Structure 1
Amino acid sequence: MRVAVVTESFLPTVNGVTNSVCKVLDHLERRGHEAIVITPAAGSPKHYGSFRVHQVPAFAYRQFPVGLPSPQVQRLIDDFAPDVVHAASPFLLGGQALFAAKLRRVPSIAVFQTDVAGYTKRNRLRAMEDFAWWVIRLIHNSADLTLAPSSASIADLEDAGIGPLERWGRGVDLERYHPRNKLTGTSQRLRKRLRADENVIVGYVGRLAPEKQAERLASLRDIPGMQLVVVGDGPSTESVKRALKGMPVHFAGRLSGADLAHAYASFDVFVHTGTEETFGQTLQEAHASGVPVVAPYAGGPIDLIDHGTDGYLFNPRSEGDADLRHWISELVADSDLRARMGEAGRRRVLDRSWERICDELIGHYELVIAERQAIESRRPASRFSTALSRRQ
Structure 2
Amino acid sequence: MRVAIISESFLPTVNGVTNSVCKVLDHLAANGHDAIVIAPAAGSPSHYKGFRVHEVPAVAYRQFPVGMPSVQVARLIAGFEPDVLHAASPFLLGAQGIASANRLGIPSVAVFQTDVAGYARRNRLGSASKLAWRVVKWIHDGADRTLVPSSASQHDLERAGVPRLARWGRGVDLERYHPNNRMRPTAQALSALLSRGGQDAVVGYVGRIAPEKGLERLAALRGMPGLHLAIVGDGPSDQRIRHLLHGMPATFLGRLSGADLADAYAAFDAFVHTGTEETFGQTLQEAHAAGLPVVAPAAGGPIDLVRHGEDGYLFDPDDPRDLRMRVGSLVADPALRRRMGEAGRRAVIGTSWASVCDELLGHYRSVMGAKVAVKRTRVGSHA
Shorter-chain TM range is: over 0.9
Equivalent in the alignment of 1:294: 295
Equivalent in the alignment of 1:70: 70
CA shift, 1:242, in A, is 1.6
Once the two structures are superposed, the pairs formed by residues 301-312 of structure 1 within 5 Å of their partners are: 301-312=302-313
- 1:34-55 residue CA offsets vs partner (Å, 9 max, x unmatched): 1110011111111111111111
Letter in 1 for 2:229: L
Rounded to whole Å, the distance in 1 between the matches of 2:28 and 2:378 is 31
Report if the CA contact (8 A) 1:34-1:51 is conserved: yes
CA shift, 1:25, in A, is 0.3
Rounded to whole Å, the distance in 1 between the matches of 2:27 and 2:108 is 18
Report if the CA contact (8 A) 2:118-2:276 is conserved: no
Letter in 1 for 2:144: D
More divergent stretch after superposition (290-299 vs 118-127): 118-127
Equivalent in the alignment of 2:178: 178
Once the two structures are superposed, the pairs formed by residues 206-355 of structure 1 within 5 Å of their partners are: 206-318=207-319, 321-355=320-354
CA shift, 1:102, in A, is 1.3
Number of paired residues? 379
Report if the CA contact (8 A) 2:284-2:305 is conserved: yes
Equivalent in the alignment of 1:83: 83
CA shift, 1:120, in A, is 2.3
- 1:311-331 residue CA offsets vs partner (Å, 9 max, x unmatched): 00001122xx11000000111
TM-score, normalised relative to structure 2:
0.98
Report if the CA contact (8 A) 1:5-1:35 is conserved: yes
Letter in 2 for 1:238: Q
Rounded to whole Å, the distance in 1 between the matches of 2:162 and 2:218 is 35
Identity of aligned residues (%): 65
Once the two structures are superposed, the pairs formed by residues 49-68 of structure 1 within 5 Å of their partners are: 49-68=49-68
CA shift, 1:116, in A, is 2.8
- 1:150-187 residue CA offsets vs partner (Å, 9 max, x unmatched): 00000000000001101100000000000001111011
Runs of 4+ in 1 over 2 A off after TM superposition: none
Report if the CA contact (8 A) 2:272-2:294 is conserved: yes
Rounded to whole Å, the distance in 1 between the matches of 2:264 and 2:308 is 24
Rounded to whole Å, the distance in 2 between the matches of 1:18 and 1:289 is 22
Rounded to whole Å, the distance in 1 between the matches of 2:117 and 2:133 is 6
Report if the CA contact (8 A) 2:59-2:66 is conserved: yes
Report if the CA contact (8 A) 1:40-1:56 is conserved: yes
TM-score, normalised relative to structure 1:
0.95
Equivalent in the alignment of 1:199: 200
Q: Which runs of 5+ in 2 are unaligned?
A: none
CA shift, 1:125, in A, is 1.3
Rounded to whole Å, the distance in 1 between the matches of 2:359 and 2:197 is 41
Equivalent in the alignment of 1:97: 97
- Aligned residue for 2:29, secondary structure, equals helix
CA shift, 1:380, in A, is 3.6
- 1:12-63 residue CA offsets vs partner (Å, 9 max, x unmatched): 1111000000000010011111111001111111111111111111111122
Report if the CA contact (8 A) 2:47-2:53 is conserved: yes
Letter in 2 for 1:263: A
Q: Which runs of 5+ in 1 are unaligned?
A: 382-392
Equivalent in the alignment of 2:136: 136
Rounded to whole Å, the distance in 1 between the matches of 2:252 and 2:139 is 39
- 1:72-102 residue CA offsets vs partner (Å, 9 max, x unmatched): 1111111111110000000000000001111
Letter in 1 for 2:245: L
Report if the CA contact (8 A) 1:215-1:239 is conserved: no
Once the two structures are superposed, the pairs formed by residues 3-18 of structure 1 within 5 Å of their partners are: 3-18=3-18
Rounded to whole Å, the distance in 2 between the matches of 1:3 and 1:379 is 25
Rounded to whole Å, the distance in 1 between the matches of 2:197 and 2:92 is 48
Letter in 2 for 1:81: E
Equivalent in the alignment of 2:378: 379
Equivalent in the alignment of 1:390: none
- Aligned residue for 1:378, secondary structure, equals helix
Equivalent in the alignment of 1:145: 145
Rounded to whole Å, the distance in 2 between the matches of 1:72 and 1:187 is 47
CA shift, 1:369, in A, is 0.3
CA shift, 1:285, in A, is 0.4
Report if the CA contact (8 A) 2:147-2:167 is conserved: yes
Rounded to whole Å, the distance in 2 between the matches of 1:57 and 1:115 is 25
Rounded to whole Å, the distance in 2 between the matches of 1:204 and 1:51 is 34
CA shift, 1:196, in A, is 4.3
Rounded to whole Å, the distance in 2 between the matches of 1:138 and 1:43 is 30
Letter in 2 for 1:375: V
Rounded to whole Å, the distance in 1 between the matches of 2:306 and 2:266 is 19
- Aligned residue for 1:377, secondary structure, equals helix
Letter in 2 for 1:69: P
